[in-house]
Structure 1
Amino acid sequence: MSLSSRSVAIVYHSPYGHTEKVAQYIAQGVTQSGMTVHLMQIDAVDWDALDQSDAIVLGCPTYMGSLTSNLKQFMEQSSKRWLARSWQGKLGAAFTNGGGLSGDKLAVLQQINLFAMQHGMLWTGLPMMPTGRSGTDLNRMSSFLGLMTQSDNASAEVTPPSGDLETARYFGEYIVQVLNRITPL
């Protein structure tokens, strides 16, 4: 199996474009590593692409300390795949974006992690040590369960900051590295 025949699916909900921007940077990290990416908004899910992907990465904003109802609906719609164990053994990962520095983003990552575990998926987090707390620093949220990014109350054209976006790109690269370790070519 060649690297280009393997794929990562990234499913996200992004009402204002911030989470979509993060998803695009994760996708850049995946494609930089030579793997195919299926980038899909939550309202246009390609279930066949998900079933055939080697990894599924889920993301949404953090709303009121939880994931969005749109992502929750997606989770519920996956129940036939849960029963059939269709995603068992796939790699799972998650990301979330919010306005606050904390905003209970960890709760969103935990909810997505539990969903992946119920499907029998394998999990990868973000092993990057934080480099600081400014907008140009990598993993400034100090997250290890998955990717956390923060957007100011501004348009997606100017936020999240560059450090968060570079962390997202690294996260995509790392997901490919993990796939290569667990399923070598």
Structure 2
Amino acid sequence: MHTIAIVYFSGFGHTHLMAQSIAAGAKQLTNTIAKLIRITGEQIIEGRWHDDTILMTLNEADAIIFGSPTYMGGVAGEFKAFLDGASQVWLQQGWKDKLAGGFTHSGSPAGDNQSTLLYLAINAAQHGMIWVSSGELPMQSNGVNRLGSSLGAIGQTTPDFTQEASLDSGDRLTAHHYGHRIATAAHRWHNR
């Protein structure tokens, strides 16, 4: 059995919808468990994130997919606090050689969301993790990778805080494909 952990923060629900689609894609493979792990502000006390249960779940996973909305050109503050709090794992290289990936959502088509994925990839590299790219050609006719990201999955929804969070159908499909790709890579990587 292979476990894919999807750890993310979602401020308005869009990133949560992407996480759900990633999990659905990962679970298409037999012998695969996808665990959604949502970071919340309540886990941050006096500016420091701490949750031993979440860290234990991530330590036991075969792959970790990191997700955050893009706020002001980077990860959300809550997610940054989580990444800083996980530095205790880095000190012991606890995630070394574990597969990693990332996703983000922004309110505008560019939104500087690539910088969020770069930040997530650099964090994974510092942990000694193996990053999995999107593996999708840009702007496919079915909407997959409509925003043209190679580093990870990106979604975009024009902000309308009077409506319930939603995803573009292509972004949902992109996230689904990305979850499937990382689960496939985890099966290959761990069946050596």
TM-score by length of 2: 0.88
Partner residue of 1:123?
131
Q: Percent identity?
A: 35
What is the SS of the residue equivalent to 2:7?
strand
Partner residue of 1:153?
159
- CA positional deviation for 1:181: 2.1
**Contact 2:139-2:147 at 8 Å conserved across structures:** no
Indicate yes or no: 2:44 matched with 1:36. Answer: no
**Contact 1:14-1:20 at 8 Å conserved across structures:** yes
Choose which of 174, 180, 185 in structure 1 pairs with 2:187: 180
Q: How many pairs were matched up?
A: 179
Moved more, 88-97 or 150-159: 150-159
**Contact 1:152-1:160 at 8 Å conserved across structures:** no
Return the structure number with greater strand share.
2
RMSD (Å), alpha carbons = 1.7
Choose which of 86, 90, 95 in structure 2 pairs with 1:82: 90
- CA positional deviation for 1:158: 5.9
Indicate yes or no: 2:105 matched with 1:105. Answer: no
Q: Which amino acid aligns with 1:131?
A: M
What does residue range 51-90 of structure 1 map to in structure 2 within 5 Å?
51-90=59-98
What is the SS of the residue equivalent to 2:68?
strand
Deviations 1:20-61 (A, max 9, x none): 000000000011112101101112662111000000101011
TM-score by length of 1: 0.91
Unaligned runs of 5+ in 2: 44-50
**Contact 2:12-2:165 at 8 Å conserved across structures:** no
Deviations 1:141-180 (A, max 9, x none): 1100111110122367463211110110010000011112
